[in-house]
Chain A
Amino acid sequence: MAVVELKGVAKNYGGAHKNAKAANAVENFNLTTRDGEFIVLVGPSGCGKSTTMRMIAGLEANTDGEIRIDGRDVSQVAARDRDIAMVFQSYALYPHMTVYDNMAFALSLKKVPKPEIEQRVNDAASILDITHLLDRKPRALSGGQRQRVALGRAIVRDPQVFLMDEPLSNLDAMLRVDMRAEIIKLHRKLGVTTFYVTHDQTEAMTMGERIVVMRDGHIQQIDTPNALYHAPNNVFVAGFIGTPSMNFLKMTLGGDGKTLTGQTARMVASSERQSIEAHKGRDLMVGVRPEHLVLTTDEAAANLIKGEIDVVEPLGSVTMVQLEVDGHRITAQLEGDTSVRMGDAIMLTCDSARLHLFDAETEQALPRHEHRTETA
């Protein structure tokens, strides 16, 4: 258990890359965990999340900044001396060793007495329900079982920090949901500070105590899942978190500081959450989540989006419809029993309090009054 601090951590691969942007894999990464916190790093591929994790592990050297574990700067410490356990995407089990030996390996290197190794391996195996597999070789295991062994190999060591690099991405969808719950349970039980890398925002939202959203090597936002959902810092985070993605419409804020007008859509902005005074007469990106759009027949509604349905996806509990509005693709999540068909002209409305307003140029959220993000 430990507090991990990252201060101005950067990774630059040097001039070997053709453009400078790609050479800077991670820039100015700042984060301080609480003891025993579960941090999820999420972002599209190539955003630097894995690189960040590998720098914490010591598999790659950080070219700038410092990494502290419980106050000790480990930037110059070799991976083997950092007391960090990592679960790899490919599991990276030792193929020539049995499950037992895989789990016991790190302990035997540390010259832990045999009875204690046995005790710890058996404990970990029973937590993960793999006791019956201890004599097998990895190749005789299924994907889910290998995953458990990989977790077991990490937990027997009782390390200061756990790192998990997309550990569930090689599992099928059902198993993934199960293992997700299991990893969370495991984390509660062990209380070890954990970094978890994923590109799946659902995984991030369900698992993370705090989530670090990254893009192109930069932190976009560090927040709790709720805060990311309700108060995204910018258009990228707003679009990345939540399924289906948030809808965006480019609209102009009227001189009254309230009315937003697009080509056909109209909205009334609420200044309750975000201060919009400074943006009178300017273009804004207006975001609204599909689940907050509802069908209406009131043509005089304050917030109104009109359009013709071109895709209907009935999912049973809900029905997704897509329409093209003012050159933007809009998705709405309607009640499951709504009877709509392709080609129907519909009107959608939403609560003004549900609108997210972003500066159209900088793509940053307009300043918020409340729900202030804790960090960032």
Chain B
Amino acid sequence: MIQTRIKEVLHVLSDFKDRHEPGKARQEYLQQLKTDLCTYYSYNEYLMEKLISLFPHEIVDFLEANEVPRPVTIRTNTLKTRRRDLAQALINRGVNLDPIGKWSKVGLVVYDSQVPLGATPEYLAGHYMLQGGSSFLPVMSLAPQEGETILDMSAAPGGKTTYIAALMRNTGMLFANDANKERAKAVVGNVHRMGITNTVISDYDGRTIPDVMKGFDRVLLDAPCSGTGVISKDPEVKINKDDADIKKCSHLQKELLLAAIDCCNAKSKTGGYIVYSTCSVMVEENEWVIDYALKRRNVKLVSAGLDFGKDGFANFERFRFNPNMKMTKRFYPHTHNLDGFFVAKLKKFSNKIPGQENKDPSAKLGELGTFFKSEGDDDKSDDNTEESKTVESPAKEESKGSPNKKNPKEDNKSGSPNKKNPKQDNKPNKPFKKGKNPKYRFGKNKKFKSK
């Protein structure tokens, strides 16, 4: 009954002027439609409202598409085999498959299979990867080149990572990172299974990566998201997402994207690109995040390099984004038969961070390497221990600890009883002269006062 009512309402709405009952406002029809769709497809009201505003005309198509699973797709590992050979081997095992489409030379779509695809000897030997069609897209957009240094910020379970490595033909360097250690283990397994040797796998929080290393030619950020594009995979999303969840995701994504941009090296000869993708259809998690980054960092939008998909929104409801936002690409289950997906490609044109050019000198060094803050600290702490060795009594320590310049007399006094090693006397004072260790000095002053 609900279904027929939905159809009627949609029929009226498609030509509201002629078809509506007199005295019944459009708002009433819309309210009716929303509650009906919520009950029929069992969504919560918040999500339904968002979806209706995203897909005012195609809402039913979208919801229907979420009820059916996407086709199973696999990606050929070009490091180990060719697509034709793989297809033949799988057909011999009773798998019914076809090339995924014109846009990919490595994808195969599987219609039905007599064997579990995740356990064939070909799978175990690393000839292919089970991977959603949509997750090819950000890697294709990233377009990694041989010999580059690339970062995959949230890598697990490794589908995109292994694709990047395959495109790089195992040259250069690939850093795969995932904050979740358990999930990062899946990356290790997949990387070894696929015969990839150029990869370093770590489990940092993505936001801290710029502190660890920088200077990547390309960075892929497949951000953690609400998953509103993959409802067919995980129907839980229908009811358990609310405004706070979306905001939380959006906030994290903004932080991660800024970190990703900071990792990238604008002076790279071949690259300087950042690709941002999510499996969400929400504007808050996509265009809004990109717009935020455009304002905070020296990046510009460039064409995603994908010749299909819908353009991103330059304007949406209350949002007014950068007009270049239409260079981003959106993919929907009902139009492309892929998971709902968003891909944006950014080009970094300067390593300077607007607003903090002078604050962070390490940001200007566009080189990959260690910028351990602790390294400098270590030196100082060494000095400190040295000092504590030479000092014999706390009283002497205090007199020594006092800044030399201010009261040279006192220093001389304290120097005289310590005749044993006058040369070493200067050494421990060095950190104070430089004035680099305010914490330490503060501790000294405190003692001074207490006395």
Note whether A and B form a binding pair: no
Chain A residues within CB distance 8 Å of chain B: none
